[in-house]
Structure 1
Amino acid sequence: MRLRRFSLSALCCFFVFWLAACSSTSSGTDSATAPASSTAASTSSSGGKAEVGVAIFDMSDKFVSYITQGMKVSATKQNVQVSYVDAQNDTATQVKQIQQFISDGVKSIVLIPTDESSADQSIALANKANVPIIVVNRYYKSVDNATSYVGSDSTTAGTMQMEAVAKLLNGKGNIAIMNGEMGTEAQINRTKGNKDIIAKYPNMKVVLEDTANYDRAQGMALMAKWLSSGTTINAVVANNDEMIIGAMLAAQLDNKDKDMIFAGVDATMDALEFVKAGRLQVTVFQNAPEQGSQAIQAAVAAADGQTVQKQIMVPYELVTKDNVEAYIAKWQ
């Protein structure tokens, strides 16, 4: 028994280091769909002054690369020049980038904030300079002071996700919840949606809960820890797909993946392939390209003096093996 556990731990460590080394492909930016630069600004078309400045918390984030793809397509359709900058998850850097956009005279700003502090400061700076600012995907209280917010209702995602899991478990079983970065809107509300549904089923309970920070390698390491505890787990539910993929890989190493239900959120291309193969039972499609597209449309409209909606919500959609082909087609 000790030898088997040691082997599992060793293999998990190997995969964690391998995943970290390969982060540019497994959880990083796809060069075909997102800006290639890290800190330098890039524009969507050659020549001329940027009309819209886009400040992104981390261009290496895979989901963000899909949002950026939608922005680029929308900018091209509207023939608007966009400058993209990467804060590399640093609050001070992002605030300086917002200041630079304002100094450069952009007509509007699109922001995916690093955290609540950067959202607060960036929105305040834009409002003081009378530059419209559109916040995308990451919600904080200060976002209510922005010109508009474009995103999706995270509670709905958690509710849809857990309803599907409850149905697969016939309303009974032990649930392990993998949280994303603690304190983020998605983590709080997706988990709330999960627990709202669990509360309706007397024979379902949360037996394990911890954070893996939206990261595949951390999800794998956390799942290995849970498996080694000996706790019976009937379903693993994660706030995003990257963590649930890590959880599946760890369970596969211990030959436990066939005994559990796995559920994620985002319906990334990687996750959809796992759904198609029957290894991931549930994910919830968050239309990242549409969020990006709507953000650019709102930024252009606001720059032209038009009134834009205070909240622009892009609906979530449940994905299972029955309809996965339609969602794979969306990425092609």
Structure 2
Amino acid sequence: MKLKKIINCFMMAILLIGLLAACGSDETAGSGEGKDQIKIGAAMPVFDDKWLSYLYDGITEYDEQNDNVEVIMVDAKNDAGKQFSQVETFIVQQVDAILINPVETDSLGPMVDAANEAGIPVVVVNRQPDEEVMKNIYAYVGSESLEAGTIQMEKVVELLGGKGNVAIMNGTLGQESVVKRTQGNKDVLAENPDMKLVREQTGDYQRALGMTVMENWIQAGDQIDAIVANNDEMAIGAIMALEAAGQLEGKVIAGIDGTIDALQYVKDGKLNITAFQDAYGQGKGAIEAAVKAVNGEKLDNNFINIPFELVTEENVDEYIAKWEK
């Protein structure tokens, strides 16, 4: 931990030396008052992600519809160090606000500190910072992961009649979404003593790894009545493995995110539950918050919640229609 702090301080020192001249040339950078043109730097974790592509659409469409807003969006390729360098570049370019979807929430602190030193407001989207970082940003725009895990498991309990064996597939370990979605799952299980957690393993949010994990569980021979995954991709991987083994029938499968692929699996009766996370709404909400920050608007609460919505076979067509707009 001490080494990490030393490294962060060293990175900050190098950055601040480079910023002194730039900030001195424009003392009002980031204030946004009276600005005709607003330039926003958007540091995104990875472009090659289907769900996140809808979030990016929410940002880019706002950009296209507002001539006074220019968004510079960059791809960190899931490299936290690269993302830090990209934020450094935005600061040197004196953008008016910085929008970050962090590769790792643990890496947010130094980026936010650097932006604050330069007087540039920060909006974080989709992956929630810890409490300390939340104090230093203009807003976090996203959905409450604990809520997702809770409503997901509550529906699983209902479908199983309050009794059965459950396996949980975790996403990428260490991410806020994994911690809280799984906590929501386990909080509900704790309230239902006839529901047993028999397996738990990471599938790293990936379909292929979800399939591999499920294949291993099948080979282990445990009785599993429900597979509850931290996202849809792992749930789909589990479905594929169960189908290949001829064991899908009678299983309850639950995911989170409400991707278009997952919604088709719900419609086909293979995925019982997903919790729709409005990617487009998060992206649009984030860019709107960044513009408010530049314009100096005050928020009553810097957590802008885009609620999760439970999706089942009964209402799936409503959510398919959302993606077709």
Fold-level match, TM-score > 0.5?
A: yes
The residue number in structure 2 matching 1:119 is 108
Q: Among residues 309, 312, 325, which one is paired with 1:320 in the alignment?
A: 312
Per the TM alignment, residue 50 of structure 1 is displaced from its structure 2 partner at its CA by: 7.0
1:132 aligns with 2:124: no
Q: Among residues 70, 75, 81, which one is paired with 2:63 in the alignment?
A: 75
Code of the aligned partner of 1:143: V
CA contact (8 A) 2:105 2:176 kept: no
Q: Among residues 74, 88, 101, which one is paired with 2:90 in the alignment?
A: 101
The residue number in structure 1 matching 2:45 is 57
Per the TM alignment, residue 73 of structure 1 is displaced from its structure 2 partner at its CA by: 1.8
The residue number in structure 1 matching 2:6 is none
Q: What SS does the aligned partner of 1:159 have?
A: helix
The residue number in structure 2 matching 1:208 is 199
Per the TM alignment, residue 203 of structure 1 is displaced from its structure 2 partner at its CA by: 1.1
Superposed CA deviations along residues 299-325 of structure 1, whole A, max 9, x for unmatched, are 011111222341100011000000000
CA contact (8 A) 1:56 1:113 kept: yes
- Could you list the runs of 5+ residues in structure 2 that have no partner in the other structure? 1-36
1:246 aligns with 2:237: yes
Cα distance in 2 for partners of 1:248, 1:86 equals: 31
- Could you list the runs of 5+ residues in structure 1 that have no partner in the other structure? 1-48
Code of the aligned partner of 2:49: D
1:146 aligns with 2:137: yes
Cα distance in 2 for partners of 1:148, 1:201 equals: 36
The residue number in structure 2 matching 1:283 is 274
CA contact (8 A) 1:75 1:82 kept: yes
CA contact (8 A) 1:108 1:302 kept: yes
Q: What SS does the aligned partner of 1:284 have?
A: strand
Cα distance in 2 for partners of 1:93, 1:196 equals: 36
CA contact (8 A) 1:217 1:243 kept: yes
Q: Among residues 213, 218, 222, which one is paired with 1:222 in the alignment?
A: 213
Cα distance in 1 for partners of 2:137, 2:238 equals: 37
CA contact (8 A) 1:143 1:149 kept: no
Code of the aligned partner of 2:255: G
Code of the aligned partner of 2:51: F
* Greater Rg over alpha carbons, structure: 2
Cα distance in 2 for partners of 1:74, 1:202 equals: 48
Q: Among residues 188, 209, 234, which one is paired with 2:225 in the alignment?
A: 234
Q: What SS does the aligned partner of 1:210 have?
A: strand
Code of the aligned partner of 1:85: V
Code of the aligned partner of 1:107: D
Q: What SS does the aligned partner of 2:249 have?
A: helix
Code of the aligned partner of 1:204: M
Q: Among residues 49, 57, 66, which one is paired with 2:54 in the alignment?
A: 66
% identity of equivalent residues? 45
Per the TM alignment, residue 182 of structure 1 is displaced from its structure 2 partner at its CA by: 1.1
The residue number in structure 2 matching 1:330 is 322
Listed as ranges, the matches of 1:298-309 within 5 Å are 298-308=289-299, 309=301
Code of the aligned partner of 1:304: N
1:177 aligns with 2:168: yes
Superposed CA deviations along residues 4-26 of structure 1, whole A, max 9, x for unmatched, are xxxxxxxxxxxxxxxxxxxxxxx
Cα distance in 1 for partners of 2:239, 2:195 equals: 21
What is the total number of aligned residue pairs between the two structures? Answer: 285
Cα distance in 2 for partners of 1:133, 1:140 equals: 12
Cα distance in 2 for partners of 1:139, 1:304 equals: 23
CA contact (8 A) 1:55 1:113 kept: yes
Q: What SS does the aligned partner of 1:257 have?
A: coil
CA contact (8 A) 2:170 2:178 kept: yes
CA contact (8 A) 1:55 1:112 kept: yes
Cα distance in 2 for partners of 1:307, 1:73 equals: 25
CA contact (8 A) 1:110 1:133 kept: yes
Q: Summarize the Cα distance change of 1:143–1:137 in structure 2 as closer, same or farther, 3 Å threshold.
A: farther
Instruction: Tell me the TM-score normalised to structure 2 length.
Output: 0.85
